[in-house]
Amino acid sequence: SNDDSVVTLLDYGAGNVRSVRNAIRHLGFQIKDVQTPRDILNARRLIFPGVGAFAPAMDVLNNTGMGEALCTYIQNDRPFLGICLGLQLLFESSEENGPVGGLGLIPGVVGRFDSSNGFRVPHIGWNALQITKDSEILDDIGNRHVYFVHSYRAMPSNENKEWISSTCNYGDEFIASVRKGKVHAVQFHPEKSGDVGLSVLRRFLLPKSSLTEKRTERKASKLAKRVIACLDVRTNDEGDLVVTKGDQYDVREHAEKNEVRNLGKPVELAGNYYKDGADEVSFLNITGFRDFPLGDLPMLQVLRCASENVFVPLTVGGGIRDFTDSNDRYYSSLEVASEYFRSGADKISIGSDAVHAAEEYLKTKVKTGKSSIEQISRVYGNQAVVVSIDPRRVYLNDPSDVEFKSIRLTNPGPKGEEYAWYQCTINGGREGRPIGAYELAKAVEELGAGEILLNCIDCDGQGKGFDIDLIKMISDAVSIPVIASSGAGAVEHFSDVFSKTNASAALAAGIFHRKEVPIRSVKEHLLKEGIEVRI
């Protein structure tokens, strides 16, 4: 093969670089994997998508001699693109479980975002850049948003300012990209930033002459509110994996045959939603609590296929827990999650098992390190662990009737009840548990969840709007991002949830599947209402 079409990839095996691979291939390039330090020195161009935590990554680089090779390669001004941790490792040190020494090529310390000033950590989502110098690979970005997901960041200083090509604002002004000669690194994820991200990769991969100059206006902005399309997936009675959608979690047709509602094919719908402007796509394997997900090869196949053409973050949930199969083979929830990550997921979502873990934690006040949330977040980072809450409203006349946090309702209950608490459920709403959504949210944040997907069984599929009372209560209680879910039926419901609560994202299913409102219209409406979105 022609050398020009080959890209060398440094994947030290710590996590999911499938999306980077998919994006490179999508642009028509072949990948050569680094096996030895020599492969780094011989690369024509090198992409280093850092994944996982700083310290283990540095251990691998130091123990294999790759770190030294990387330093030589970069000091010789050879074409390099670092992504996310691949940017952070270039600095002197990081505070992540540290201080831990880095490659030391750029002056500065990588520190944690400060959540005390009301900014949620991790910084997850679409943000715009302030481009400070000519950086070539960023030339198509203009004021469009790119996707970030991280809890640590490097800050601009006098010592490193010659490196900085763009910054971003999130509580602090932090370094979004660096560039010196042919060496580039970005804190955001070009492979997850849709078209604009692919253009960054293209500009790095293609020699300058083959690109047409394109400059747009540069304006900084703030973190965009995300619009997420959700695909509830299950096997129908014929054994095919279909996208389905319930009313208050009931997915049966209630016609003569009582069959599972079939709204289309998962991979196809995910591709459509990506093209229509979804900021993320979620797959929930809604019968995962029954079937062992690693036995669920079709779902893994769905992820593999979807991630080839969808260049925004993918979340998958359903059945993530420790499991012993019929042959007495034990699988940890970490193994289950790892299989999902390898197949193309960027985040995994835990429902039922998070409820068990939170109940246990509240009872014992001890973090055992053994829960699925703890195991997975330790290896893949908090940002990769979403907890899906499936609460049901329980009406009350008097808030002191329960030990759980209750709220005064904006709209009283059917018997005029003025209060409610939100009871967590497991197994797709089939079983109520003695814990409220508020208590669960706080507990899972402490255990290491990086985001909360907040459903509401009462509102699911009703198209009457989100449960603003619930979403306000939860998004004010935690400092991790909250995704509002259940009940969207019109564009106004999205502006409502963003103007009345601190939700970071809104997720919907039925409204998109039934093609009532395209995602694009939701975004246009939000923009018109003065809410920051990625267009």
The residues of the shown chain that bind ligand 1PR, judged by CB under 6 A, are 230, 232, 245-246, 249, 251, 284, 286, 288-289, 317-320, 349-353, 388, 390, 428, 455, 460-461, 485-488, 508-511
DSSP-derived pairing of the beta strands 100-101 and 130-131:
unpaired
191 catalytic per annotation? yes
Strands (E), 5-138: 6-9, 30-33, 46-50, 80-84, 91-94, 100-101, 106-112, 123-127, 130-131
Angle, helix 437-447 to helix 372-380, in steps of 10 degrees: 40
Residues 59/60/63/65 CA torsion (nearest 10 deg): -120
Give the shortest CB-486-to-ligand 1PR separation in angstroms. Answer: 3
Q: How wide is the angle at C-alpha 228 spanned by C-alphas 254 and 204, nearest 5°?
A: 140
Q: Which amino acid is at 377?
A: S
Alpha carbon distances (Å) from 162 to 103, 129, 156, 375, 504 = 18, 17, 10, 40, 34
Nearer to ligand 1PR, 114 or 516 (CB): 516
Q: How far is the CB of 327 from ligand 1PR (least distance, A)?
A: 22
Alpha helix locations (H) across 5-50? 18-26, 37-41
Which residue of the set 346, 390, 439, 467 is catalytic?
Answer: 390
**Does residue 401 carry a catalytic annotation?**
no
Q: How many alpha carbons fall within 13 Å on the CB side of residue 46?
A: 29
* 459 noted as active-site residue: no
Question: Which of the following is catalytic: 84, 230, 424, 456?
Answer: 84
Q: Minimum Å distance from CB 111 to ligand 1PR?
A: 33
Q: What span, in angstroms and rounded, lies between the C-alpha atoms of 384 and 345?
A: 9
96, 191, 374, 439: the active-site residue: 191
Nearer to ligand 1PR among residue 33 and residue 253 (C-beta): 253
| Calpha distance 63→351 (Å, rounded) | 38
Q: Which is nearer to ligand 1PR, 308 or 353 (CB)?
A: 353
Angle between helix axes 333-342 and 372-380 (nearest 10 degrees) is 40
Residues 6+ apart with CB under 8 A from 187: 84, 87, 88, 148, 150, 153, 154, 168, 174, 175, 176, 177
Residue 389 in tokens: 């809450």
C-beta of 228: minimal distance to ligand 1PR in Å? 9
Q: Which residues are annotated as a binding site for substrate?
A: 319, 455
Residue numbers in the known binding site for L-glutamine are 84
The span from the CA of 307 to the CA of 303, in Å, is 6
189 is catalytic: yes
Least distance from ligand 1PR to the Cβ atom of residue 283, Å: 10
Closer Cβ to ligand 1PR, 191 or 390, answer by number: 390
User: Looking at beta carbons only, is 65 or 264 nearer to ligand 1PR?
Assistant: 264
CB 390 within 8 A of CB 351: yes
Nearer to ligand 1PR, 70 or 251 (CB): 251
Residues forming the active site: 84, 189, 191, 232, 390
